[in-house]
Amino acid sequence: QKEVEQDPGPLSVPEGAIVSLNCTYSNSAFQYFMWYRQYSRKGPELLMYTYSSGNKEDGRFTAQVDKSSKYISLFIRDSQPSDSATYLCAMSARDRGSTLGRLYFGRGTQLTVWP
């Protein structure tokens, strides 16, 4: 079992829809949770960054973390065609016996928002 599970989709929705993207994880050591957006043939762009359980809102985007269930979500309201991209969840933890942290990525969910 991978440490971070994410449904790769593809997910296709009409413009204006609410989009829900999710990841589950198994490692209780994960402390910080991120969502990256990656357009085709481009580098990942940081969208949201959360630490504690609960919700964090930024414009049309809401990130939700439930540490007790080991489940994170990203909601996109009023989705736009420009939101069409791959969304990667990522979580960070320190290596055992190390002071260095690293990111663990989900597979990414490919989203298409059609006009």
Partner 1 sequence: DTEVTQTPKHLVMGMTNKKSLKCEQHMGHRAMYWYKQKAKKPPELMFVYSYEKLSINESVPSRFSPECPNSSLLNLHLHALQPEDSALYLCASSLTAGGAQETQYFGPGTRLLVL
> Applying CB under 8 A, which residues contact partner 1?
8, 30-32, 34, 36, 41-46, 49, 51, 88, 92-94, 99-103, 105-108, 110
Output the CA–CA distances (angstroms, integers) from residue 111 to 16, 40, 59, 72, in the order listed.
13, 11, 19, 17
CB of 38 to partner 1, least distance (A): 9
1/99 with CB nearer partner 1: 99
Going through the chain in order, the beta strands assigned E by DSSP cover 4-6, 11-14, 19-25, 32-38, 45-50, 54-58, 61-66, 71-76, 85-94, 101-105, 109-114
17/73 with CB nearer partner 1: 73
CB of 5 to partner 1, least distance (A): 12
CB of 8 to partner 1, least distance (A): 7
